[in-house]
Structure 1
Amino acid sequence: MNHKIINPINNKNTYEMGTNMDITKQLYLAKQFQEIHHRNKMFILPNAWDIGSAVTYEKFNFPAVGTTSAGLAYSLGYSDGEKIDFEHIVQIVKQITQRISIPVSVDIELGYADTIDGIVENVTKIIEAGAVGINIEDGYSKPTPYLENLDIQIKKIQAISKLKEKLGIPFVLNARTCVFFIKVGKEEERLSIAIERANAFHKSGADCIFIPGAIEECNISKLIENIPAPINILATPMTNNLENLEQLGVRRLSLGSAPVRAAYSNLIETVKQIQDENKISKLLDHDFSYEIANKLFAR
């Protein structure tokens, strides 16, 4: 992948129609985002936690940007898990889509609503904010990890899928099953559960299936063999060989919350040195000067 910084974004490339993105541009981006899921190669989807991180990803030539629910929450001072007001997410999505010119996909976790109608309303807000992709998941981590009833999750996906025609935007519906991520059930049962749910989601209108978690390559191969849809995997220590993942047939690799955690890790190490050692060398030990930063974020 070419990581050369491209020219600053021309402000004329972004438009507003009331509170929304120009429909022609959004339609183009939606079709583009659909298309890259069906190329015979894997693409990396970096996950942004604010406007600056989204701009950075675009400047380094990534084909699209996703949001990270954890990262958005951390940037607002909260933990992950639908702890922030949904309208904050909508506002951040608007700001991102108005600032960059590549497809944006949004993680809405469980949908930020207790009813299917509420979830559909929230997805509508996200698409009207300029996004061309959404993630909807099926896992609850507390009090004991469990998955949403399959029939109910199917109805959610069907209802979201119908929005494509209603809104006139063929956004990518990325349906996530959390069976590996939150370790539901017995380890030997997770593969078959994931395959069953993934196929049900795909038949219900999901364009891509997201199966995050620490998954062995042999199981990734079985998932791809048994699910006739593009497969999205999360970057983890177990899934860090990008060439192998591409050869297996993974089509989308999400970086998830790893970049924002790496950024906060650097910040924590810096402030710990200041507090514990009364030194600031970690603060200054980098090449990202004020001039370079301004060049990166110039419009």
Structure 2
Amino acid sequence: MITDEQRILADKFQNLHSGKDMFLLPNIWDAGSAYIFEKQGFDALATTSAGIAYSLGYPDGEKISFNDLLFIVKSITRRVKIPLSVDFERGYGETLKEFKEFSRILLENGVSGLNIEDGRSDGTLDGIDIMKDKIEILLELKKELNLNFVINARTCTYWLKIGDKNERLHTAVERGRIFKESGADSVFIPGVEDEKTAEQLVKSIEIPLNFLINSGLYDFDTYRKLGAKRITLGSGTVRYIMDKLINIALDIRDGNVSRLIENTFTYKKANQYFNGAGDDQEKNKNLCK
């Protein structure tokens, strides 16, 4: 059931995309990580499909079930009070009917945005008509549910390194423009690693563009100067956390628990930190200083 509160959150999320300023949308993978980023003052959140998969013990790429994804999404929307966009990959279904049903279920569980992509596990792209059909379905759901959620359409042209440099730019621009014409609210092009390409994409597609930080292009001021609208972290944060956990596991295996003992985030501090999801943002930020 769509609530008035959810409609307000969806409108707030839309406003972030239509405003003058670029915004950072941190990627989270469970209710705990979502709560942390909300508490630290972020305006909205997005799931990372890789992060959710890793947290459940699987690799990325729709290796988990839709019910697994739904369980995580429900746990997040119960705990946070800011807009949430869900990385829906290719839709977790084999048919457009399933895509619409799964989309509806996510939206009816508190979601303010959906990210859909054209990248296939075999390293190719879905036909453009498939993405057009999916965007059309999401537009139908906007009307049926009376919910102005954000449709973020992703092309994996650069992520999967489709073609040479010129082909990638041509394909990304072509698909971005078609996504825009089909009704997407923003376009996501991960894998862009240089300023010139990012600038060309922004100027050529003329829709709020979502970029993913990487080792080649990660400075927020640079993205802002280039005209990017939405910056995401992808699986960067969860991979950082998992790397630390793997190393701690190795320490513990070898009988070394010093890092655990020396940890200043005590049991008492942890309980205090995670207490009070209803606290206003200013109190939350002050608590963490």
TM range (shorter): over 0.9
Structure 1 counterpart of 2:204, one-letter code: N
- 1:69-88 equivalent positions in 2, closer than 5 A: 69-88=49-68
- Residue 292 in structure 1 maps to residue 272 in structure 2: no
Deviation string for 1:6-25 (max 9, x for gaps)?
A: xxxxxxxxxxxxxx46x110
- 1:53-202 equivalent positions in 2, closer than 5 A: 53-142=33-122, 145-202=123-180
Paired with 1:284 and 1:252, the residues of 2 have a C-alpha distance of: 39
Q: Secondary structure at 1:80's aligned position in 2?
A: coil
- Give the CA deviation at 1:186: 1.9
- Residue 254 in structure 1 maps to residue 232 in structure 2: yes
Q: Secondary structure at 1:140's aligned position in 2?
A: coil
Q: Secondary structure at 1:146's aligned position in 2?
A: coil
Structure 2 counterpart of 1:134, one-letter code: L
Corresponding residue of 1:218? 196
Residues 193 and 215 of structure 2 are in contact (CA less than 8 Å); yes or no, is this contact kept in structure 1? Answer: no
Return 105-114 or 88-97, whichever deviates more: 88-97
Residues 192 and 198 of structure 2 are in contact (CA less than 8 Å); yes or no, is this contact kept in structure 1? Answer: no
Count of aligned residue pairs for this structure pair: 276
- Give the CA deviation at 1:141: 3.3
Paired with 1:70 and 1:172, the residues of 2 have a C-alpha distance of: 21
Structure 2 counterpart of 1:273, one-letter code: D
Paired with 1:247 and 1:204, the residues of 2 have a C-alpha distance of: 28
Paired with 1:292 and 1:211, the residues of 2 have a C-alpha distance of: 39
Residues 180 and 215 of structure 1 are in contact (CA less than 8 Å); yes or no, is this contact kept in structure 2? Answer: no
Corresponding residue of 1:14? none
* Structure 1: runs of 5 or more not aligned: 1-19
Deviation string for 1:26-75 (max 9, x for gaps)?
A: 00000000000122121111111110000001000110011111111111
- Give the CA deviation at 1:215: 2.4
Corresponding residue of 1:32? 12
Paired with 2:225 and 2:261, the residues of 1 have a C-alpha distance of: 40
Q: What TM-score results when the alignment is normalised by the length of structure 1? A: 0.89
Structure 2 counterpart of 1:251, one-letter code: K
Q: Secondary structure at 1:240's aligned position in 2?
A: coil
Q: Secondary structure at 2:206's aligned position in 1?
A: coil
